[in-house]
Amino acid sequence: MSTENLNNQEAINKIQEIIDKTDIGMMCTFGEGKDYPHVVPMSRQEIDEAGNIWFLFSSESETHQNLQQNDKISLLYAHVGDYAFLSMNGNAVISRDQARIDKYWNKMMESWFEKGKEDPRIRVLQVIPAEAHYWDTQSNKLVTIFKMAASAISGKPMDIGREGALNL
């Protein structure tokens, strides 16, 4: 796998590409005095033009409680079918921005918030990336395994994909 660091718009495009095909990632927050991160699956609402990732979540969640004490957050995405992976660390900003709640509201949200868009527990989470890294084979799992086997048999390195830093 060769290294290809991406910057600015190319980095944002790679983040969007991986998250869009994966949708649900693992969100890690860090509780005070805890030895391990608190990890939950989360579906993103939007990736904006600056590369920020937006979510709706509950003020009653452990994630919210952790972010009140420590705004550091990690997001992990894995699309196993395409062998595309993303690891991101950043800072969280929590708000009660009604315009964003209205924008992101959908039928799925109704199952989490019985009182609808006006539910006082709804919070908007903006993740501002500080650092990110990707791994992308640029093909599917079967092709990647074939390339790895061919490389092992022939002794010649094959291009099985790219990995690198995403600098926003």
The pLDDT, as a whole number, for residue 156 is: 58
Structure token digits, residue 135:
């791994």
pLDDT surpassing 50 at residue 74: yes
The pLDDT, as a whole number, for residue 145 is: 46
**pTM (predicted TM-score):** 0.85
Place 92 in a pLDDT band, splitting at 50, 70 and 90. very high
Q: What percent of the chain has pLDDT over 70?
A: 85
The pLDDT, as a whole number, for residue 159 is: 55
Reference 162, options 87, 74, 84, 89; nearest CA is 84
Domain span at residue 104? 2-167
The pLDDT, as a whole number, for residue 157 is: 57
pLDDT surpassing 90 at residue 148: no
CA dihedral (131, 104, 125, 34) positive or negative: negative
pLDDT surpassing 80 at residue 141: no
Least confident interval from 7-11, 58-62, 150-154 = 150-154
Q: How many domains does the chain have?
A: 1
pLDDT tens for each residue of 116-134: 999 999 999 999 999 999 9
Structure token digits, residue 159:
């291009």
Reference 54, options 44, 62, 64; nearest CA is 44
The CATH number of residue 42's host domain is 2.30.110.10
Reference 15, options 132, 130, 156; nearest CA is 132
